A and B are shown apart, each in its own frame.
Chain A
């Protein structure tokens, strides 16, 4: 068994109006990775390449030890994939779908399927066409979860769900992680979901990975430092400070490489440090994208 659940190395794909460029990603077994990016950043393209649904022009892709796209048939026994645009059969009941998936996958866990039906508040006898968007999303996820796959690849699993449904799904995802051989990659716009359950976080923008590391490191390295400048003193340039907003004598410095010496360096320059604040993942994400786009323009 390979030591990582999935790995992309130097992966690229060219489209007329979009270029996925040099994507490098690694997800160790037993981890959850949140994959965040604005609309059109390349999240779904990356996920489709992982699933062998889109073939990369260049680069290596390995999923559960299988090379993609060549080995995709073998890999898919152990991958559970759900995406927004996945369709169930409108004219069939949920129960028909359950029996259908069960007949294909020997790993199907009927007890767990029944438990999920209750937790997700779904009725097996109901036809798919009568389900709401949220119910369909939950039904599709149930069909994937009950197979107990070693790797879950979920494209926007919580988009369009009400808070209760979102919570149920997040809880089910963390439940998967009680088994340390299973892994999850999920994409989302919802940074709050990602912040709560992810071990690893990857930001993608305009077809490039702009940052990828473990969540605690992310949160640790980003800080906002609020300072007061005595008149006549300028903000010194500190390495690691990527943004300074100043209005009058108050300034806010944002850093992506926080170090305890930073506030002391300001104090030494005669600048009064009011506060050192943590940032939410959402704030970090927006700053990160802006910073990386400015770098491109420069």
Chain B
């Protein structure tokens, strides 16, 4: 599903639609496409663009507002929140979330903390290796 904002939603993605929208907005902010102070599309506009319900977009904006990523002023719509490092803060939150998952799945597999650390190191090494190949 393409729209004017360039958002692409996946129906095969198991997560609720509002979470996908939150993620795409966070990404746009994180990579700097949407700088602080940038006006977000109105709720109705984005709903129409994406072909999803108004309540889904409302929910996404509500969560982003609660996390301090965007600011909503009554009658003026929403803007990307101020704060020089919104981008890195989003990456930070993402990282924390994923690390938590790593810890949880590792425990599920019965790995010791040492083994989990080793696996993480391996992943890092693989990433640097492929990075070198490309350059």
Contact = CB atoms under 8 A, between A and B. Distances in A.
A147 B32 CA distance: 43
Nearest to B43: A180
A180 B54 CA distance: 10
Interface in A265-280: 274, 277-278
A32 B45 CA distance: 15
Contact of B53 (A175, A192, A196, A274): A196
A278 B16 contact: yes
A177 interface: yes
Contacts of A192: 11
Interface in A107-160: none
B53 A197 contact: yes
B interface, over-half SS: helix
Interface in A214-272: 214-216, 219
Interface in B50-66: 50-56, 59
A219 to B, nearest CB: 5
A7 interface: no
A218 to B, nearest CB: 10
B48 A175 contact: yes
A219 B16 contact: yes
**Which 3 A-B pairs give the minimum distances between C-beta atoms?**
A199-B55, A178-B48, A174-B51
Contacts of A199: 53-55
Interface of B: 11, 14-18, 44-45, 47-48, 50-56, 59, 108
Contacts of B15: 278
Q: Point out which of B11, B15, B52 has the most chain A C-beta atoms below 10 A from its C-beta.
A: B52
B44 A196 contact: no
B70 to A, nearest CB: 18
Contacts of A216: 16, 18, 55-56, 59
A174 B108 contact: no
A177 B44 contact: yes
